[in-house]
Structure 1
Amino acid sequence: MEKHQLRSGYTTGTCAAAAARAAAAMLLTGNQLQHMKLVTPKGTEADLPLFHVVIKDQEAKCAVQKDAGDDPDVTDKALVFAAVRHFDGDEAEAQKTCYRYDGGDGTGPLFLTAGEGIGWVTRPGLSCPVGLPAINPVPRAMIFENVEEARRQAGFEGPLKISISMPEGKKLAEKTFNSKLGIEGGLSVLGTTGIVKPMSEDALTATIRLELHMKAVAGDKRVILTPGNYGEAFIKETLSLSMREGVTCSNFIGEAFEMAGEEGFEQILFAGHIGKLIKVAGGVYNTHSKYGDRRMEILWDCVRAVIKDLDERKSAILSANTMEEAAGILKEHGILKPVMEEVVRRIRKYTTLWSGGKRVEVVTFSTADGILGMSQGAEDLIGHFAKETVPAEITGG
């Protein structure tokens, strides 16, 4: 069967820049447009159709519909609006809520702000200042450059104000990490190349790094890492800790520990379901199944390291469908505890290595039996997190 090549799309930043350029051109010329061309930072030309075009004396507004290609982007098919109007307000006051661009050559400044559905930054550590819209540097530059070009082509030198909005943004933002990052009220305007690469792992690891960076900027020296939803639920329900101190790292275990080390975290609590963490005990850097599944082989190696006379159960363990089933076999033989101690020891060895020698404590669990294994210092570290969690929950902070 011929392999289907995944189709690329355009970033929110490209859509916003195209809409802004079109709105500026229509405001300054009075001519209604059907589409707008621009060149993305990657050098690809985009020719995007326009929707909901409105031209008034002082303002023009239009939208571009986001096309994310074959990437499962929550913003796919959402409308990205840009409104451009003549600016006659107080420049100093505008800079409190707007980005400013000075084109030079005697032209007036351009101001960029956000309308409905675009988030605002409330915490430090992002590439946008606190108190301004979450419009990242590359799309910000694209918007300014394209509006400046439209202004130049129209022979206009006066100041303009640009506003980007996405009516569906606030609702769509609930499906993103924005609230955890301190972006309130809507989506971010993102993009570095202007092109959306389908199923990009880079986007996932960039999010993990950003979350860790923001916690580091906030002064945190301890962090919780967990692979996914099971781990998050366990941290909240069993350990009674808040995920305010946590970062979900998916299958990117090794990279997450490297990032945590690079960001200067001194203590890391690693908590997760045994089905995922057993791979880490075998030194598996990325636990996605596409890189192989050696869970039972790794478990058997841990069994042999601590129990010498269980060869008759080797086939049962190696043929177990799940780690829950395998743990049940170990429990029947009364050896679950020492084997899990070995598993935790190996997980700690690899994660400590990946983090650059930071203090790592490990807790692993199963749905059937709860906590299966815990490193010696884990309880103490959990206690430190508990002290930090309680006041925040009491105060609602």
Structure 2
Amino acid sequence: MKKGFSLPLWVAGAARSALKKLVGLPFNNYELIKIPNETKEIKIEIHSVGLLKDNSHALGITFAKSGLDLDITQNLEIWTIASLEKIPLNNSVQTIPINIIAGPGVGIKKETSEICISDFAKEVINKNLLDIIPEGFNLKLKIIFPNGEFLAERTSNKSFGIVDGLSIIGTSAETYSSASPDQLEEAKANLAKLIQNNFKGKVVFVIGENGLNLAKTHNVDLPIIKIGNWIGPLLVDAAIKKVKTVILFGYHGKLIKLAGGIFHTHNHLADARIEILVYLAVQEKLPLEIIVKLSELNTLEDGLLLLERFNKSLADKLFENLSNTIEKRSFAYVNRYVKTDMEIASIIFDRKREIRWAGNYGNNYFSYFK
């Protein structure tokens, strides 16, 4: 399986190297990064390190190697700037030992201006840096992706309220291509493992990291599997394994493809989101001038905003129709390959990560996501 290492490991490697330089330890062209809850260590290459600002700061630089040709972070340049802050002797308030700061090119949450970083990434950084911080000090760690703001324009970050750069949202040490057949085999293996452990017949397929994060935020009380772009074949596999209900939970810009009969959803294979939206608008008998405007847009989110400006209740009706169409087309797709009565439900969230629409079956499970 073609794989590499996720962004949090490369950030931690550069940060560890910078901190070691700051406290006077020798430079190596690699760092051995410990993984939370695992015994293995992973070798991360370091490009360079140096002292700044009268030796009060240290800069560590590396280039991420995700191992995935289509990954936005492949060869991403990473800078980490480490500095120490003395803890006041009379300080009775417990402080955070590592203050992680978003520098240029690193994504922040638009509503709060907080750095967009996963718990896994924080755990990796803490596990590999805490033992080097001198007693009586806290670490200030600034992360910079020099090309991050430009690269973020090629992602859906803004759709999820993440601005100014790339987020650090890896949830595991290793990376797998969501477009690779190997990724499908991994998802099948995860499903097989799941149904062996007191399985109740229902499973949530979340689309991508943002879907997984949102499901966890809502404490969804159902087994969850993060899937890549092989949605159709995995639905078939679920039917073969006698799963009773699959709940598809994802961003409208991804799930809409299923309504158009596209069941491998990676953008480099097929898009057609605007075309599908136009088709749904025709079904709803929207005015011709609105349909023409929709056809001229570049993103589904722009289409939603246009529809809501025209008539919000009509926009919601169209997206509820989208949810129903996803369920129907998915069921028909699965039954092309295996005869099944497996229930397929769809629940969709928008650019603000607000869970808004569900199909006829999805409505039965909407409360799980509240």
TM score, norm. by length of structure 2: 0.55
Equivalent of 2:108 in 112, 115, 120: 120
Aligned to 2:207: 205
Structure 1 pair 234–353 and aligned structure 2 pair: CA distance change class (3 A): closer
Structure 1 residues 278, 110: closer, same or farther in 2, change over 3 A?
Answer: closer
Corresponding position of 1:131: 113
Give SS of 2:117's match.
coil
- Confirm or deny: 8 A CA contact 2:256 2:276 kept in the other structure: no
Over 3 Å counting, the alpha-carbon distance change for 1:161 and 1:211 in structure 2 is closer
2:31 and 2:39 map into 1 onto residues whose CA distance is 16
C-alpha distance 176-34 of structure 1, shift in aligned 2 (>3 A): same
**DSSP 3-state at the match of 1:53:** strand
Amino acid at match of 1:50: I
User: 2:164 aligns to what?
Assistant: 185
**Residue of structure 1 in register with 2:15 after alignment:** 20
Alpha-carbon shift at residue 190 of structure 1 (Å)? 2.1
Instruction: Tell me the secondary structure at the aligned position of residue 84 of structure 1.
Output: strand
**Aligned partner letter, 1:146:** N
Q: 1:213 to 1:235 in 2, by over 3 A?
A: farther
Secondary structure (helix, strand or coil) at the match of 2:80 reads strand
Following the alignment from structure 1 to structure 2, what is the Cα–Cα distance between the partners of residues 207 and 268?
A: 24
| Contact residue 71 and residue 197 of structure 1 kept, 8 A | no
Q: Distance in 1 between matches of 2:321 and 2:22?
A: 55
Letter in 2 for 1:80: I
Contact 1:11 1:194 in 2 (8 A): yes
CA contact (8 A) 1:35 1:50 kept: yes
| Distance in 1, Cα, partners of 2:344 & 2:51 | 64
Of 136-145 and 81-90, the range deviating more from structure 2:
81-90
Distance 1:138 1:33 in 2: 25
Match of 1:146 in 2: 128
8 Å contact kept, 1:116–1:169:
yes
Q: Deviations over 1:201-228 (max 9, x none)?
A: 67971346369769x99xxxxx795117
Mapped partners of 1:86, 1:232: distance in 2: 50
> Quick one: structure 1 residues 21 and 169, their matched pair in 2 at CA, closer, same or farther if it must change by over 3 Å?
same
Matches within 5 A, 1:306-385: 352=359, 354-357=361-364
- Contiguous gaps of at least 5 residues in structure 1: 1-5, 91-99, 103-108, 124-129, 218-222, 248-264, 286-290, 295-347, 360-397
Aligned partners of 1:232 and 1:207: how far apart in 2?
Answer: 23
Unaligned runs of 5+ residues in structure 2 are 89-93, 188-204, 220-251, 258-264, 266-270, 279-289, 305-316, 347-358
For residues 232 and 65 of structure 1, do their structure 2 counterparts lie closer, same or farther at Cα, with a shift above 3 Å needed?
same
Identity score, percent = 19
Q: Distance in 1 between matches of 2:99 and 2:213?
A: 29
AA partner of residue 54 (structure 1): G
Which of 291, 298, 305 pairs up with 1:238? 291
CA contact (8 A) 2:206 2:212 kept: no
Give, in whole Å, the separation in 2 of the partners of 1:55 and 1:350: 55
- Say whether residues 1:31 and 2:26 are aligned partners: yes
- Contact persistence 1:35–1:49 (CA under 8 A): yes
Q: Which residue does 2:57 correspond to in 1?
A: 59
Q: Residue 45 of structure 2 corresponds to which residue in structure 1?
A: 49
The amino acid across from 1:82 in the alignment is T
Contact 1:9 1:196 in 2 (8 A): yes
CA displacement, residues 34-81 of structure 1 (integer Å, 9 cap, x when unaligned) = 221112235442112211311231011112211112352111011222
State the alpha-carbon separation in 2 of the partners of residues 204 and 71 from structure 1. Answer: 23
Which position in structure 1 is the counterpart of 2:256? 226
Query: What SS does the corresponding residue of 2:322 show, helix, strand or coil?
Result: strand
For residue 142 of structure 1, report the CA deviation from its aligned partner.
1.4
**Residue deviations 1:14-51 (CA, integer Å, cap 9, x gap):** 11111111111110115333221112235442112211
| Amino acid in structure 2 at the alignment position of 1:284 | V
> Is it true that 1:68 corresponds to 2:61 in the alignment?
no
Choose 1 or 2 for highest CA Rg. 1
How many aligned positions are there? 248
Q: Once the 2 structures are TM-superposed, how far is the Cα of residue 110 of structure 1 from its aligned partner? A: 2.3
State the secondary structure of the residue aligned to 2:165. Answer: coil
1:8 is matched with 3
Deviation at 1:135, TM superposition (A): 1.3
Amino acid at match of 1:67: K
Task: Provide the C-alpha distance between the structure 2 equivalents of 1:239 and 1:358, rounded to a whole number of angstroms.
Answer: 35
In structure 1, the residue corresponding to 2:131 is in which secondary structure? Answer: helix
Task: Pick one of 319, 325, 332 that aligns with 1:282.
Answer: 332
SS in structure 1 at match of 2:332: coil
Q: How large is the Cα RMSD of the aligned pairs?
A: 4.3
TM-score (norm 1): 0.52
